[in-house]
Amino acid sequence: MDELAAKAREKQPGLIVVDRAVRGPNQNYLTPENRVPETQLPYPWESCIIAGGGWAWVPNPQFMSPKQAIHMLIDIVAKGGNLLYNIGPAPDGTWPEAAYKLLDEMGKWIDVNGEAIYSTRAIAPFKTDNICLTQQKDTKAVYAIYLDNSEGFTSGEALTKLPATFTVKGIFAAKNAKLTLLGSTGNLKWENTEEGVKIFIPEKIRKNLPCDLAWAVKISAIN
């Protein structure tokens, strides 16, 4: 494996290798399979998750809902991990239509909220209640991602899903910080409390949310 990795890196410097739990220099990251760790891990890691059915093709696979898949992605990233999403192809190489629909919904959400996911790092307290946290590697901006915890609502009832106010516990905005909801224009009102930063979402935004299932508030600077 040492020789193989060295030859591969001659062609692609910086290539990372997973040696499938064989300890040593070729174990650049670990891969919890079909599970998400309870908290941040002290090393690079990636959750390998079956989207539906099995690792390989199975008849009539039942896929995760978009809400399950998007919330799982956010939870993993907030803990400093990466998501490998497995979809087993049919014998002819095709995917079930349900797989395309699921990935399309995930793609729509990422189109709006990608900057809260890509190039981010974990930041304590990672997650409190139904709010996950990430931090941009370069700008240090913090994203508070509010997970929709309502049940039985349709996308047309988005006003019920994102409350008028919520508090991000353990995070305090800097004096001149600007807070914005990704996908929307204008700054949000906020105030620091003993618990953390309290964010106000105006009715105008709540009636016209940029996405469903989870919403990311960007905090430009924290104390």
Amino acid at 192: N
Last residue of a domain, one of 116, 139, 160: 116
Based on the fold, state whether residues 65 and 132 are members of the same structural domain.
Answer: no
At 30-60, the pLDDT tens digits run 899 999 999 888 889 999 999 999 999 999 9
CB 220 within 8 A of CB 179: yes
Instruction: State the angle between helix axes of 66-78 and 97-113 in degrees (0 to 180), rounded to the nearest 10.
Output: 50
Count up the domains in the chain and report the number: 2
Structure tokens given for 43 = 């090393």
Nearest one of 70, 95, 49 to 146, comparing CA atoms? 70
Last residue of a domain, one of 83, 116, 149: 116
Q: Alpha helix locations (H) across 23-131?
A: 66-78, 97-113
Last residue of a domain, one of 116, 136, 169: 116
Which pLDDT belongs to residue 27?
87
At 137-176, the pLDDT tens digits run 999 999 999 999 876 544 444 445 899 999 999 999 999 9
C-alpha 85/C-alpha 123 separation (Å) is 24
At 87-118, the pLDDT tens digits run 999 999 999 999 999 999 999 999 999 999 99
C-alpha 209/C-alpha 8 separation (Å) is 46
The enclosing domain of 202 has a CATH number of: 2.60.40.1180
Based on the fold, state whether residues 105 and 153 are members of the same structural domain.
Answer: no
Structure tokens given for 218 = 């960007």
Paired strand residues for 86: 50
C-alpha 217/C-alpha 150 separation (Å) is 19
pLDDT: which is higher, 99 or 22:
99
Which pLDDT belongs to residue 23?
79
> What is the residue range of 87's domain?
2-116
The CB density around residue 148, as the number of other CB atoms within 10 Å, is 19
Based on the fold, state whether residues 28 and 103 are members of the same structural domain.
Answer: yes
Q: Which DSSP state fits 45?
A: B
Least confident stretch, 24-28, 43-47, 116-120, 183-187: 24-28
Please work out, in degrees rounded to the nearest 5, the angle formed at the alpha carbon of residue 193 by the alpha carbons of 182 and 127: 55
At 53-77, the pLDDT tens digits run 999 999 999 999 999 999 999 999 9
C-alpha 146/C-alpha 116 separation (Å) is 12
Based on the fold, state whether residues 71 and 48 are members of the same structural domain.
Answer: yes
Based on the fold, state whether residues 90 and 130 are members of the same structural domain.
Answer: no
Full-model pTM: 0.90
